[in-house]
Structure 1
Amino acid sequence: MLPVGEPIVPPYQITHQWTRELRRFGRRTVVAVDFRIPDDEPVHAGHYGRGHVRVSSAEAAALILEHDDPRGYEVFVPRAIAAGEIRRIRPVNQVTGWRYRPDAHGTPPCPLCVDRGEYGGAKIRRAAGVLGR
Structure 2
Amino acid sequence: MNELGLVFYGYNFKTVKKIINNLKKILDKKLFYISASGKEEKTVNEILKKEDNKIFSENEIKIIMFLGFNDDEITKTFHFFSDNKNEIPKPIFCILTIYNINWKFKDLINYLIEEENRFKKIQKNFS
- Asked if these proteins are the same fold (TM beyond 0.5), I'd say no
Q: TM-score, normalised by structure 2?
A: 0.31
Higher helix share: 2
